A and B are shown apart, each in its own frame.
Chain A
């Protein structure tokens, strides 16, 4: 029996009959409602769908509010206070109003879309939109293109065209004029729209001698520390790259020769996010210390890394955890998509 008085982490697994490509919390429109936007793919019917579900607080079940059929499978999904943005593997980008999406009476459709040959060729690997930013959505693709889409009218402009000589796999805004991209070989690029033409700083991916190279799958930048970016990728790697010390990446996790602690995961880290719920240990608090970060991995781990501390494991599944999202209004709640066609909701005490 659980000890009364000590609340424990609660985990709810919701089995779906479709593959979950990506999942995000939507900003709640009322304090009583909590809803999520989910990118599904039905392998039997070979059809993708983007659905908004409300979460029943008591029974922890999902109820469908609205659904939209994208032209192809969703490759990346992000949410801000006002918008949800989704990109597809066929190279189109769609923006939705976050409030309208949760209103069953209004038609759930993309308010703005961008596609066409001049936009992206093939899969868009990552998109990002910033709260209080320039209302421009940045998109990167395997084709090496970096584009900005205006949320208001769907017009786009090219920031860079790599012509396939480079491929980008992740992107994140750092400030209204700066963003970070990631790609093959653990490479990170810092872009500044005020200095167009090429990236203003590059991280060449030389994390450590003897370490095998890999791909960046996810990037996060904390609004209070815009000079540092957090990246996760192959071989259980989670590291931070500080623009002020460009040649000294801080490795938080990964198969390494000299870190004493056993890493939680040795496989692909699919997503990283700063975790505002976990409080950093205060005694060695300094501005140079990194904020706690959450990650999910191919070998089924959802964990939190705090620099200088033992990593903690929130969830250990027999299958991969492909994406997760921390509810910004209620950061104790984490929603994850699992490989075996299911969704898990983790409620921390």
Chain B
């Protein structure tokens, strides 16, 4: 569902007047042409088009019905329209994310429900209970792990001195970057005290993403890395010093130290001549690696000294600054005769001292400038308000005309504007993000909680949270493999979830192109119905499936599913069709084919819509055969019994009366004594009378019997009546 921006229209602004949830932009006047590979030979007589799953069309192509026999009469082709998603995350990866987020989501919802029921019972939560944000944190970590692991790979065994920049094991994704931002600001209460340092880490991971067209420190580093081997005297290159200050400004201390150690004065042949110069470079490198950081811990291999408590940090910070000032005013600078080195190092010291102009020129993007402020000017957490105004200042200095989606999200978060955050999530990162990130947004804020849970008139009485889940569920249901996840999200929607689930279930195509496996999809849908107690829908699905099988000639399956659906009406309809073919083929051998179907009908208590006649008819035939072959009186009596029950039963179709009676002639003319008594014979005669009357009606179907059959039956019945009267008197 691309292009859906519900938060914009839900805000109650002027654009919500027309009530359009999906803004329609008639910008594509270019018609797209999709080739259709149906593989049929012309002439094609008819084409029918309907919507399939998601954004695919089902095109049914038919040939002339009476053209040459050997070929198929038509074909159904599926056609996928447009490109499905943006390229950053492939469909496969999206599905993986969708699968993986089910369990964390379901767990969080069940915890939410049990917490709600606890508070309803007014039980105080037990002292061992976690705070709510801690549950959300657990959820957030689970989801975050799904979105990829941008942590750098372990250090290589043989370290390349020229490799200043360690490659990440996989490309960072902006989805994960956005998720981490939201987690940092809304959920993780523990890191609130060192938020600036977390932002520094965040930028280190995702600097490559924040700008598409303009350079960043990251892109400059990558570029320089490729040239590093070709440089003879590295410190003579202005880009070297430029990069050192840039990397330092955004706090990538280990890269800066590594770069400094590449300085020519470290080379053994140079050491004697450039002692002072080397001393200055080393002094700066040591100062950089000793930078005090206001954070609980730092990864191994990264530079800086950590302080947890503010007073300790302030003391260390001041001492560090004093050392820098002292070095800055030292007399050694005069003795350093390399101008490039002198100026470069001086610049580095200015950055560490927090010179705004130098910081501004060392950074590229406003976010980098912003981070450098936290590192060298204001290392403490301030309120969001002042963070926001600082960000505004940075943007003014480093304006970009086309801000990246991550930056738009960042501004929304800093501006404490929940509506903007929601709409940026949805616009930039899609329906998955917004449906899942709502949990983060509402973790610690009552305002946000109210915003997403308020029931809105213009959304038909549902809340924003429900809207986003419904939209996500629709997206899931548009793909065959994710379809069965959709109910989990739908059932968490109080108002319209179940309704939508019913609609989705009923709209499932019976047979997908090549995909219906193991009756899989259909059975899965029945399973969903069972889980959510949608009995009505499940019988409807069974009816649909039954009719589908019937149309494709699988009569047994059809009968089974219609029986399961208890659909008497359709069963009796297909019964009348079945009887037509039974009438022709039921003699002798071919009856074996019917055996399986009849066994299916045999299970008692199942509705059969008149089909149970087949069962009785088969029994009668069997007894008759038995009696005929063995001349056994007992078997014959049994045959009479089943004959009578057939003729008494109202469900025996009229068209079978004469064939049954004709079969019964053998019983009527039984040698030894009459098997059928007077009253039974009278009943049969009545039936025969009824049949004679029925033959006058225009819709009567004449059974395929010899022409003399009726007279033969009549004569046998009369003879038998006579014999029976004599026997009984």
Contact = CB atoms under 8 A, between A and B. Distances in A.
A165 B599 contact: no
A298 B96 contact: no
Contact of B515 (A15, A43, A197): A43
Contact of B555 (A44, A165, A322): A165
B351 to A, nearest CB: 45
Interface in A25-56: 41, 43-44, 46, 48
Which of B91, B480, B555, B606 has the most CB atoms of chain A within a 10 A radius of its CB?
Answer: B555
A198 interface: yes
B276 interface: no
Nearest to A342: B99
B519 interface: yes
A interface bracket (residues with beta carbon within 8 Å of B): 35 or more
Interface string A169-212: 10000000000000111010100000001110010111000001
Contacts, number: 123
Interface stretch (A99-107, A156-164, A242-250): A156-164
A75 interface: yes
Contact of B596 (A183, A266, A322): A183
B513 A164 contact: no
Contact of A341 (B481, B597, B604): B481
Given A43-B480, A205-B603, A21 B523 contact: no
Contact of A142 (B103, B554, B602): B554
B553 A187 contact: no
A217 interface: yes
B533 to A, nearest CB: 13
B481 A183 contact: no
A166 B481 contact: no
Nearest to B559: A184
Contacts of A345: none
Interface string B535-563: 00000000000000100111111001001
A73 B103 CA distance: 30
B603 A144 contact: no
Contacts of A68: none
A73 B556 contact: no
Contacts of A268: 523, 527
Contacts of A73: 514-515, 517
A169 B603 CA distance: 19
Contacts of B517: 21, 41, 73, 75, 89
Contact of A267 (B91, B515, B527): B527
A208 B473 CA distance: 39
Contacts of B595: 166, 198-199, 202
Interface string B510-539: 000111111110011001001000000000
A239 interface: no
Interface string B92-104: 1001100100110
Interface in A51-69: none
Given A162-B596, A164-B553, A268-B523, A204 B515 contact: no
Given A43-B480, A142-B554, A163 B603 contact: no
B564 interface: yes
A184 B523 contact: no
A144 B92 contact: no
Interface string B74-112: 000000000000000001100110010011000000000
Interface in B595-619: 595-597, 599-600, 602-604, 606
B592 A197 contact: yes
Contacts of A166: 556, 595-597, 600
Nearest to B482: A340
Contact of B556 (A41, A164, A198): A164
Contact of A184 (B92, B103, B520, B556): B556
A319 B99 contact: yes
A299 B554 CA distance: 28
Interface string B688-711: 000000000000000000000000
Contacts of A340: 95, 99, 481
A215 B523 CA distance: 10
Contact of B593 (A161, A212, A213, A319): A161
A162 B593 contact: yes
A298 B523 contact: yes
A42 B596 CA distance: 36
B603 A217 contact: no
A17 interface: yes
A324 to B, nearest CB: 14
Contacts of A318: 102-103
B554 A167 contact: yes
Nearest to A268: B523
Contacts of A215: 519, 523, 560
Given A44-B92, A268-B527, A202 B599 contact: yes
A341 B479 CA distance: 13
Nearest to A42: B92
B603 A213 contact: yes
B594 interface: yes
A240 to B, nearest CB: 19
A144 B556 contact: yes
A128 interface: no
A72 interface: yes
Contact of A143 (B524, B530, B554, B606): B554
A185 B600 contact: yes
A166 B600 CA distance: 9
Interface in B551-587: 552-557, 560, 563-564
Nearest to B102: A318
Query: 10 closest Cβ contacts across the A-B interface?
Result: A166-B596, A184-B560, A340-B99, A17-B92, A166-B556, A164-B553, A165-B597, A167-B557, A198-B592, A164-B554
21 contacts: A15-B96, A19-B481, A43-B515, A122-B552, A142-B557, A165-B555, A165-B594, A166-B556, A166-B595, A167-B557, A184-B560, A185-B603, A202-B595, A204-B602, A213-B560, A215-B560, A299-B527, A318-B103, A319-B99, A341-B92, A341-B95
Given A199-B595, A268-B523, A322-B520, 15 more contacts: A21-B517, A46-B514, A75-B517, A143-B554, A167-B556, A183-B556, A183-B596, A185-B600, A185-B603, A197-B592, A202-B599, A204-B599, A213-B564, A268-B527, A341-B96
